[in-house]
Amino acid sequence: MPWPRIQDGRLIAALLASLAALAWCALWLGEGSTWGHALLHGGHTTHSGLDAPALAAVFVLGWTLMTMAMMLPASSPLILLFHRMVSGRPHAGPLVALLIAGYLCVWALFGLAVHLLRRGLFAVMGAGPWLGRNAWAPAAVILLVAGLYQFSPLKYACLEKCRSPFAFVVSRWRGNRPASDALRLGAAHGVYCVGCCWSLMLVMFAVSAGSLAWMLALGAVMAAEKNFTWGRRLSVPVGVVLIAAAASITLGGI
């Protein structure tokens, strides 16, 4: 059965909004479930009773839902632009789906890396007496790294790629092999998106992992940085606030 032709950009926009809304609903429902702390990466995730592979799967699922909720709205200009470019093709809908799949796969792989690093940190904290006595230190380090990264040339370079969806798509979309080209285009956008937003995503583990309010606030900051003309001016004040928060936590902990 052939895929239906989706030519109305408003329908694509509505589908993206619905997908993000469903992700927020899933996170909200997961918050109160018996496995919600694993899904939302809460502080005692390692004691959720799941074995290591299942815990990794649940963590990556939660991370992917967070990406859908927080990052898909910020990436909607590129997705809608891509749809306009391929709307005349007979399989425009699947091409857009492949673009989104490539984007989410990159974020899911990053989420798996975060999970492995986090498990290693918990193991070090359990084995080392200093980290065990100074549980504030990881949060302070995350905030400091995130604050400093706000001033990084790499962040600005990745942010410029994300803020120029037309140039990004035109320079990479060939369309000779539509399916694989769409998947690669989505993955490339995901790489740059991770490059400009990874540190702010990790801030959730410092401020209150599993808090939907913090997810919403951080998602709004990242969306503004990527999509508004004044968004780049947020980088410096956000960086200053994060560094100040790291200093405050450090002074309160020592």
Give the pair of three-digit tokens for residue 142.
Answer: 């995350």
CB 240 within 8 A of CB 143: no
This prediction has a pTM of: 0.86
Q: Determine whether 180 is exposed, middle or buried from the number of CB atoms within 10 Å of its CB (0-12, 13-18, 19+).
A: exposed
| pLDDT tens by residue, 163-216 | 889 999 999 998 889 999 999 999 999 999 999 999 999 888 777 655 778 888
Give the pair of three-digit tokens for residue 140.
Answer: 């302070």
DSSP class of residue 106 equals H
Nearest to 178 by CA among 93, 108, 72: 93
Three-state secondary structure of 61-101: HHHHHHHHHHCHHHHHHHHHHHHHHHCCCCCHHHHHHHHHH
Q: Which residues neighbour 80 within 8 Å (Cβ) at sequence distance 6 or greater? A: 9, 12, 13, 16
The letter for the amino acid at 229 is T
| pLDDT tens by residue, 10-49 | 778 888 889 899 988 888 876 655 555 555 555 444 445 6
| pLDDT tens by residue, 186-197 | 999 999 999 999
Q: Determine whether 215 is exposed, middle or buried from the number of CB atoms within 10 Å of its CB (0-12, 13-18, 19+).
A: buried
Measured in Å, how far apart are the chain's first and last C-alpha atoms?
65
CB 139 within 8 A of CB 242: no
| pLDDT tens by residue, 110-157 | 999 998 888 887 777 666 666 667 777 888 999 999 999 999 999 999
The letter for the amino acid at 236 is V
The letter for the amino acid at 144 is L
CA–CA distance, 133 with 125 (Å, rounded to integer): 9
Output the pLDDT for position 209.
Answer: 55
Give the pair of three-digit tokens for residue 16.
Answer: 């993206």
| pLDDT tens by residue, 149-159 | 999 999 999 99
Rg (CA), the chain: 19
